[in-house]
Amino acid sequence: MKRISTSLFRISICSFAVLTSVLSANAQFAYNYLKAANNYFNKGDYYSASQYYEKYISTNNTSTKKQGFEPYTIAGNTANIKSSGSPKSLSRAEVVYKIGESYRMLRNFVKAEPYYKELADLAQQFPHARFWLAKSLRSNSKFDDAEAEFSKFINEYPTADSIRNDAGKELANLRFIQAQLKKTDIKNYKINRLTADGQSHGADYAPSLLNNNSLVFTSTRIDSTEGETAKHINRLYEVATNSSASAATKLNIPQPSNVHQGVNTFSPDGSKMYLTKWSGENVSKSAAIYLSRKENGKWSDPVLLAGDVNATGFNSQQPFVTADGKSLYYASDKPGGEGMFDLWIISLQEDGNPASSSLNLGKTINTANDEQAPFYHNGKTLVFSNNGRVGMGGYDLFQAEGTTNSWKEPENLGYPVNSVKDDIYLVSNGSNYLLDNVYISSDRSSECCLELYNISKVRMKKVFTGVVVDCSTGSPIAATEVKIVGTNNAAIANITTNEQGRYEVLLDEYQPLTVTAGKAGYIAKTHQITAPADAERDTLATADICLAMPIVEKPYEENKQVVVDSVFYEFDKHKLKPSSYPSLNVVVDLLTKHPTAMLEISAHTDSHGSDEYNLELSELRAKSVVEYLVSKGIEATRLQSKGHGETMPIAPNTKVNGKDNPAGRAKNRRVEFKVIHY
């Protein structure tokens, strides 16, 4: 028994020693993992930091999923990240926060979400955790959950600072997203993902056109000549515009092994290339714009661009040369701007070097946030990315019409050009329409990395519309015949205006038009219509076409009585004799030629009979004339009738000797009219 007890004691001692050794080794591994993670984090290498932080947690029996590769990342805001010093001083919660921050800086919100969720209720220790949880939820298309978390954050976060303001903006973003997802024209967009598998080789982004058939882009894919363990370095690749990015070849340009270069643009003749070169990662990134020239089919070693484009200690990047080769747009965080990264422009000389100092695009374009990746389409529309305006979230693409010193308010390009993740860098291969054929980079289908997409919008029919009106009254003229002729006198439409005088035609494309409008009783008129400068607008409403009536001389003075000869009645009656019609038709003709004229018809008698009788008879005779004119199509509202009886003779009814004067009485029995107005 004693011998057995001694053996057991020895076994126990050995087991304890082994356990102590294992625990000591695990503790050493954990210490090393945490130390390495902190070092990578402080250097801005968030991919490596996330791996070692998770190894540290895994060593402490916390399971993690297999991770991906190191992607290209966009510099983020690390203002709320503080080092805790010695690895031994970090609690599990602090490590979890560092993992969430690392994935956020990598734009990998899928993996960031659960870590921020674990810390969301620890507001005193991690006051920003709920904000980043909400932002991760929005990026992961969990809109209702995101709205709830942003609202919670605003209610519980006491400080009125920029991050609280950002939470309010994010709620506006969510409303914008919901409206965009309900758009009726989404079906008109065709989207083709060019990157075969964004998570297998690196990021593909920043497309530029060398010509209509060749697309150049930047990629962090592993160079096969360097082996699978090579670090992801940004390089330039070229591919046919009708091919997938996976078929691309590396551009023939000197490429330092430890320096990133890409995000480029070409001069119109393809002989000069402006590109961005940078070193460092994220926090310590230092970027500048360089110029390379094509010599004997190869691109020369890039040279730092002269002038004030690059400022020491600041970043200048993402150049774009205009179609005429005279100007260079770029983004920079140098002094003199409105916020973080601003958009600038500088003139170029024929040799490709800057000709003068740079000009900031001003407050209409630039904000306190980042404006990046400029592209100027057809000399009229600036496209850029921004991460602070109301939009889908992250970086969104915006457009603003105008020129260097005069810009309209930028408009969000909307869904599906933009997504709830980052959409940055756009170049258009469309001639007149921006969205005819564009290439963008977006991480909408990736957990972490930007990928290339080709987007085209199917254009709907163009609506060409106008109104025909009366020149004198401004009233619409219905049933007007409108003939529309296009280029080369090709007939486009023969239509008739509706009751509101309106006509409408659908066109495939806007073009110069000749519009002729005509209607009986009016002088026909022809208008020349030029194609609108804004080729993307859906409806072109032209100015009213006014038609005038033929100019006819006014044969009678206004308010002057005119006797109508040969108007006959039965004796002592008011019914017209047919022999009167030819004379009255002269009045009908007058009213027809002057369709707005108004007449007074008056009738007179001689002195035979009482005054009362003659007045009544004259009124009836005047009315009988009006009735005849109405029967000939004259509007009754244009006619007035009046009887004067024997009160207004134009000849004596009796002679001087008191005898009857038949000739005088015949003149007094008459019908007259006067033109009240034309």
CATH number for position 567: 3.30.1330.60
Q: Which helix (H) or strand (E) holds 626?
A: helix 611-631
Nearest by Cα to 551 from 613, 472, 488:
472
Rounded mean pLDDT of 29-44?
86
Q: What is the pLDDT of residue 226?
A: 65
Domain total in the chain: 4
Mark whether 366 and 332 lie in a shared domain: yes
Question: How much is the pLDDT for 8?
Answer: 39
Indicate the pTM of the whole model: 0.64
Is the same domain home to 568 and 525? no
- Confidence grade of residue 230 (pLDDT, cut at 50, 70, 90): low
Q: Are 641 and 659 in contact (CB under 8 A)?
A: no
581 plus 652 within the same structural domain = yes
Residue 88 inside a domain? The answer is: yes
pLDDT at 438: 96
**Residue-averaged pLDDT of the chain:** 86
**Residue 301 and residue 436 in one domain:** yes
At residue 299, the 3 state secondary structure works out as: strand
Given pLDDT bands bounded at 50, 70 and 90, which one contains residue 521? confident
Residue 346 DSSP symbol: E
For residue 522, give the CATH number of its domain. Answer: 2.60.40.1120
H or E element, residue 587: helix 581-593
- Is residue 1 assigned to a domain? no
pLDDT at 657: 83
In a domain, 25, yes or no: no
pLDDT value, residue 321: 98
The whole-number average pLDDT for the span 225-241 is 79
Residues 428 and 539 in one domain: no
Strands 189-193, 303-304: pairing is unpaired
Q: Which tokens hold the place of 225? A: 């000549």
Q: Do residues 332 and 317 share a domain?
A: yes
Categorize the per-residue pLDDT at 536 as very low, low, confident or very high, splitting at 50, 70 and 90. low
Position 408 scores a pLDDT of 95
Under 8 Å between Cβ of 220 and 234? yes
* pLDDT for residue 28: 61
The predicted pLDDT at position 59 comes to: 81
Q: Are residues 142 and 196 located together in one domain of the fold?
A: no
Note whether 198 and 69 are same-domain residues: no
Residue 66, domain CATH: 1.25.40.10
- 114 shares a domain with 52: yes
Would you say residue 284 lies in a domain? yes
Q: Does 343 share its domain with 386?
A: yes
Q: SS3 for 274?
A: strand
Task: Give the pLDDT band of residue 339 (cuts 50, 70, 90).
Answer: confident
* Average pLDDT estimate for 604-618: 89
The stretch 391-397 carries a mean pLDDT of 93
Position 87 scores a pLDDT of 52
Could you tell me if residue 328 is inside a domain?
yes
* 425 falls within a domain: yes
Share of the chain above pLDDT 90, in %: 56
Which one of 457, 473, 504 terminates a domain? 457
For the chain, the residue count is 678
Question: Could you tell me the CATH number of the domain that includes residue 216?
Answer: 2.115.10.20
| Structural tokens at position 72 | 């290209």
3-class state of residue 119 by DSSP: helix
pLDDT surpasses 60 at 663: yes
Q: At which of 497, 515, 547 does a domain end?
A: 547
pLDDT of residue 535: 63
| In-domain check, residue 382 | yes
Q: Which of 43, 13, 429, 58 is nearest to 207 (CA)?
A: 429
What is the percent of the chain where pLDDT is above 70?
A: 88
Which has the higher per-residue pLDDT, 533 or 444? 444
Q: Are residues 507 and 585 in the same domain?
A: no
Residue 10 and residue 13: Cα distance in Å, rounded?
5
Same domain, 175 and 190: no
Domain encompassing residue 294: 186-457
Q: Is residue 23 part of a domain?
A: no
pLDDT at 253: 95
Last-in-domain residue among 491, 518, 547: 547
Task: Point out the least confidently predicted range of 160-164, 216-220, 300-304, 326-330.
Answer: 160-164
For residues 69-75, average pLDDT: 34
Q: Across residues 482-505, what is the average pLDDT?
A: 93
